[in-house]
């Protein structure tokens, strides 16, 4: 089953990208909005990043 999620950064529907756990909230980002995953992993507020 294909599904699309709305990117938290740009608002576009995407079927690939990243789930980002920040605090108790999971946000979805497309690859364009979250280009530098390693830099995002260094952010202390982000607890986990998973590609979907």
Q: Which two tokens stand for residue 23?
A: 């605090």
Residue-wise pLDDT tens digits, 35-49: 999 999 999 999 999
Q: For position 41, what pLDDT does the model report? A: 93
Q: How many domains does the chain have?
A: 1
Residue among 23, 11, 19 nearest 37 (CA): 19
Q: Which residues of the chain have pLDDT under 50?
A: none
Domain containing residue 28: 5-51
Q: For position 42, what pLDDT does the model report? A: 95
Rounded distance between C-alpha atoms, residue 8 and residue 27, angstroms: 6
Rounded distance between C-alpha atoms, residue 50 and residue 20, angstroms: 7
């Amino acid at each position: 089953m294909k599904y699309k999620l709305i990117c938290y950064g740009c608002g576009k529907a995407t079927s690939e990208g990243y789930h980002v756990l920040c605090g108790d909230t999971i946000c979805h980002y497309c690859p364009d909005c979250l280009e530098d995953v390693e830099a995002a992993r260094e952010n202390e507020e982000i607890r986990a990043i998973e590609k979907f």
